[in-house]
Amino acid sequence: MANRLFAFLRRYYEYLLMPLGLLIFVGLWQLVAGFYPAFILPGPSRVGTRLMEYMANGMLRQHFITTGYESIAGFVMGGLLALPLSYFLSRHPFVERCLTPYIVGVQAIPIVALAPLLVIWFGFGLSSKILVSGLVAFFPILTNGIMGFRSTDPRLLELMAIMGAKRKQIFFKLELPSALPVICGGLKLGITLAVIGAVVGEFAGSGRGLGYLVNAARGSFDTPLIFVALIALALLGIGFYILIAWFEYWLMPWRRRE
């Protein structure tokens, strides 16, 4: 019996570590929360009660959907702009050297400082939040795309050219498959940053979304509600990350054996 239990634990310990770690974290959280007032550090029970309240009245779902829509729309916009540009820049180093100072300059501006300006220009609706989200997601996808397309083995490029392969064939048969692992890494980073961008945009000015919920809870010192919004944001980011990871798994069947 003990041997069978040991074999089971050895086989599935990776799947047991996550819930076990979560239980330990919640237990420590409850222990530490007992030494502080609830408005500074509420315990898991208070946060759970607040979570149930906002799930029951439907408010959490509305804010969750709003931030999720802003994030995915911004991510798609940033990706559609970044991927073609990354391929173009990877093939034209001179143009990349000319544009790099401007790209770095825009990226160096804190998004917290840029978001209010975009809200002023494009209003308090979804458009400004999508733009902020897309801008944040754009840069890691662009950088990884350039690195990915440049990782193609030049000897293979020369071989395909000698064999008379067309430009389209070289791209889809060699350049894109070679770049996909690095590009997917950029997409994973971009989707999580897109959520951050959407929340920053909501901080700058919004009447909906999880960022707005954090702002409203902060104004009323409703700390349990802040934790509820943070948990929702974490779940949203994890969900999007898993979606991109599944897309990567489906897109690169040759890596499933690794």
In the block, tokens 């609830």 appear at 38
Whole-number percent of the chain with pLDDT over 70: 91
pTM of the model: 0.86
Q: What is the pLDDT of residues 62-95, one digit of tens each?
A: 999 999 999 999 999 999 999 999 999 998 889 9
Q: With beta carbons less than 8 A apart as the criterion, state whether 63 and 210 touch.
A: yes
Superfamily of domain 43-255: MetI-like (1.10.3720.10)
Indicate the burial class of 122 (C-beta count within 10 angstroms; 0-12, 13-18, 19 or more).
Answer: middle
Q: What does the domain layout of the chain look like in residue ranges?
A: 1-35, 43-255
47 Cβ neighbours under 8 A, 6+ residues apart: 224, 227, 228, 231
CA atoms in the 13 A half-sphere facing the CB of 242 = 6
Q: Is the pLDDT of residue 14 over 70?
A: no
